[in-house]
Amino acid sequence: MNIILFGPPGAGKGTQAKFLMNKLKCFQISTGEILRNEIKSDTNIGKKIINDMNDGKFVSDEIVNNLIKKIVFDPKKKGKLIFDGYPRSLSQAKNLDLLLDDSKQVINLIFFLNVNKETIIKRIEKRKVLEKRSDDSLNTILKRYDTYMETTKPVLDYYSKNLNFHEIDGTQEIDEITRKIETFINV
């Protein structure tokens, strides 16, 4: 089963992806984690990524799409992908469609975790203390939230027409969100 989880930074995509990964024995494809690994490895791509993230910008579609392509075509992961934070733009969504089509795969479920800015701020402040992530400064997160909401509107419109698209109130407690997701995967 291939699933897309999307929502603004701090919406709980990673938490829900881990739940789905364990329940379905799938692979979490976290663009955030992939990008942080590039930064840790201090590659040229990693240096470009850190500059974009620190400015509150999204990393270019070209960079992200190339990193995702390797994963989609990995035979061990075929039909077992949980996309966490990808796609974030219409061009990424269309790219994913092409990659899946070329690899003879489909998206089975799409979940949009809808969360307001106030909830995001509370979660990011908590996550910053617990996880000590360098990309969790409040100013950076607020810029990323606004950019996300602006660039993701076309992605929402693109996916919301699909029968397998489900919008979930992401301001709820983690367990409640998980239960809602479970109702769709247990059908």
What pLDDT is recorded for position 126?
A: 75
What is the model's pLDDT at position 139?
77
State yes or no: pLDDT of 136 exceeds 70.
Answer: no
Q: What is the pLDDT of residues 1-48, one digit of tens each?
A: 999 998 887 788 889 999 999 999 999 998 878 888 889 999 888 888
Q: How many Cβ atoms from other residues are within 10 Å of residue 60's Cβ?
A: 14
The pLDDT of residue 176: 96
Which structural domains are found in the chain, ordered by start?
3-185 (3.40.50.300)
Average pLDDT, the chain: 87
Give the count of alpha carbons within 13 A of 112, CB side only.
Answer: 20
Half-sphere exposure of 86 (CA within 13 A, CB side): 31
* pTM reported for the whole predicted model: 0.82
Is residue 100's pLDDT more than 90?
yes
User: What is the per-residue pLDDT across 43-65, written as a single tens digit (0 to 9) for each?
Assistant: 888 888 888 877 877 788 888 88
Counting DSSP H helices and E strands in the chain, the numbers are 8, 5
